[in-house]
Amino acid sequence: MIQSRKASMARLTLMLVLFVSTGVAIAAPVTARLYHNPGCMCCEQYADYLGNKGYDVEVLDTDDMAALNRKHDVEPALSSCHTTLIGDYVVVGHVPEPIVAKLLREKPDIRGITLPGMPSGSPGMPGKKSEPFVIKTLDGDVYTTY
């Protein structure tokens, strides 16, 4: 019950932040469809991380991440252990939520973003962050650092 109350408050906060930043009322939480290999615990932790930030996350198992990434034009060098469809974008890997929110708020003319690999200290990954995360577009250009 406490966990669901925290998640509900986080969703409400996200909706308020998006309303204030865009001036557009949002009727429901932002839906994220996270595809991952069954049993991958860091993906589950990333889904929980997004859920705690107010996103409505649906976790979907797939036995063929490579096919899913090909379908969304994600090059192997830019891939990670999970791929999330959110809004009109593809978000690959353990991208920090403030960067996801920036993407949704600014709506750049790109297909999506990625934090390639599984860097230590990124959301859902153990370890300590040792350097800034370089988030790239799906074309391989630098989108931002975090």
**Which H or E run contains 111?**
none
Domain count, the chain: 1
Edge-first strand order for the sheet with 89-93 is 56-61, 31-36, 82-86, 89-93, 112-115, 134-137, 142-145
What is the overall mean pLDDT for the chain? 88
Q: How confident is the model at residue 2 (pLDDT cuts 50, 70, 90)?
A: very low
Place of tokens 């991208």: 95
Give the gyration radius of the chain's Cα atoms.
15
Strands 142-145 and 56-61: unpaired
What residue numbers bound the domain in which 83 lies? 2-145
Instruction: Give me the pLDDT at residue 6, please.
Output: 53
pLDDT for position 4: 44
Q: What tens digit of pLDDT does each residue of 63-82 get?
A: 999 999 999 999 999 999 99
Q: Averaged over 1-15, what is the pLDDT? A: 51
Task: State pLDDT tens for residues 97-108.
Answer: 999 999 999 999
